[in-house]
């Protein structure tokens, strides 16, 4: 409800499952952002500030949104 403003939707996981999945997604996101920033700075020679912006953008859009939309808050099939 809080994320997608939909009161009448049932999710595949209960609250406990969603919290665990959400926490896993957050930890994965932090790790990927760190590794992406590190790789862009040390292997591609990009300034860490620019590398962090690039890494954050890709991880936020491709990893966070996708996992939260289709794994953490997956809706039950009717």
Task: Kindly state whether residue 37 falls inside one of the protein's structural domains.
Answer: yes
Predicted local confidence at residue 4, as pLDDT: 57
Task: Kindly state whether residue 36 falls inside one of the protein's structural domains.
Answer: yes
29, 21 Cβ separation under 8 angstroms: no
Predicted local confidence at residue 51, as pLDDT: 95
Predicted local confidence at residue 7, as pLDDT: 65
Domain with 23, as residue range(s), is: 15-72
Task: Name the band, by pLDDT with cuts 50, 70 and 90, for residue 5.
Answer: low
How many structural domains is the chain composed of? 1
Q: Per residue in 10-21, is it b (16+ CB within 10 Å) or e — as a string?
A: ebebeeeebeeb
Task: Kindly state whether residue 8 falls inside one of the protein's structural domains.
Answer: no
pLDDT in tens, 21-36: 999 999 999 999 999 9
Task: Kindly state whether residue 56 falls inside one of the protein's structural domains.
Answer: yes
Which residues lie closer than 8 Å to 58 by C-beta, 6 or more apart? 36
pLDDT in tens, 55-78: 999 999 999 999 988 888 888 777
């Amino acid at each position: 409800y809080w994320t997608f403003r939909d009161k009448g939707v049932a999710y595949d996981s209960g609250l406990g499952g969603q919290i665990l999945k959400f926490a896993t997604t957050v930890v994965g996101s932090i790790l990927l952002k760190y590794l992406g920033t590190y790789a862009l700075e040390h292997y591609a020679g990009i300034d860490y500030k620019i590398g962090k912006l690039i890494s954050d953008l890709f991880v936020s859009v491709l990893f966070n949104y996708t996992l939260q939309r289709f794994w953490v808050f997956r809706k039950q099939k009717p």
